[in-house]
A and B are shown apart, each in its own frame.
Chain A
Amino acid sequence: MECSAAMSRLVARFVMILFVTLISPSGVANEVRSLVLVTHVGANNINLTNIEIRRLFLGLPVAQQQRRLIAVINRTESLLYQVFLQKVLFMSAPLYERQLLANVVRQSGIQPPVYTDQQALLRVLRTQPSTVTFMWQDQISAGSGVVVIAVIWQGSVH
Chain B
Amino acid sequence: MLAELLANGEERDLERLAVGWVSPQGSQIWFGRLHSALDPWNRKYHHGAYLQTTIYRPGLIEFEDSGGVIPTHLTGAVIEAAYEDAAYITHYTLNVGLGPELTPGYIKALDVLHPQEGDYRLSIVSAISRRNIDAIFDDSGLYAGYVQIPSSVSGITDVAQKIFGGYINTSLRAWHLSLSATWIDLRLDLTSGDNKNEGFGYAYLQPEYWLNHDWILYGRSEGSYQGQASLFLQQLPGFVRHRNLVGARYQLSGSQALKFELASMDQFGRRFNQVALQWSAALP
Q: Which residues of A contact B (CB under 8 A)?
A: 51, 54-55, 58, 60-61, 63, 66-68, 91-95, 97-99, 101-102, 105-108
Contacts and interface: CB of A to CB of B under 8 A. Distances in A.
Contact of B45 (A51, A61, A102): A102
Interface of B: 2, 18, 20, 22-26, 28, 30, 43-46, 48, 50-51, 80, 82, 133-134, 136, 213-214, 251, 255, 282
Nearest to A111: B284
Contacts of A51: 133-134
B83 to A, nearest CB: 13
B211 to A, nearest CB: 12
B133 A107 contact: no
A101 B24 contact: no
Nearest to B213: A92
B251 A107 contact: no
B213 A94 contact: yes
A66 B25 CA distance: 8
Q: Which of A67, A106, A108 has the most CB of B within 10 A?
A: A108
Contact of A101 (B2, B251, B255): B255
A145 B46 CA distance: 41
A40 to B, nearest CB: 17
A55 B23 CA distance: 15
Contacts of A60: 26
A61 B136 contact: no
28 contacts: A51-B134, A54-B134, A58-B136, A61-B23, A61-B25, A63-B23, A63-B25, A66-B24, A67-B24, A93-B213, A94-B251, A94-B255, A95-B136, A99-B136, A101-B255, A102-B44, A102-B45, A102-B48, A102-B51, A105-B45, A105-B48, A106-B46, A107-B22, A107-B28, A107-B30, A108-B22, A108-B28, A108-B80
Contacts of B255: 94, 97-98, 101
A41 to B, nearest CB: 22
B26 A108 contact: yes
Contacts of B82: 61
B213 A105 contact: no
A61 B28 CA distance: 11
Contact of A106 (B44, B50, B251): B44
A138 to B, nearest CB: 29
Contacts of B251: 94
A29 to B, nearest CB: 31
A105 B42 CA distance: 11
A83 to B, nearest CB: 16
Given A68-B24, A97-B282, 15 more contacts: A58-B136, A61-B23, A61-B24, A61-B25, A63-B25, A92-B213, A97-B255, A98-B255, A102-B44, A102-B48, A102-B51, A106-B43, A106-B46, A107-B2, A108-B80
B46 A105 contact: yes
Contacts of A92: 213
A107 B255 CA distance: 20
B91 to A, nearest CB: 9
B20 to A, nearest CB: 7
Contacts of B30: 107
A99 B44 CA distance: 10
B276 to A, nearest CB: 20
Nearest to B28: A108
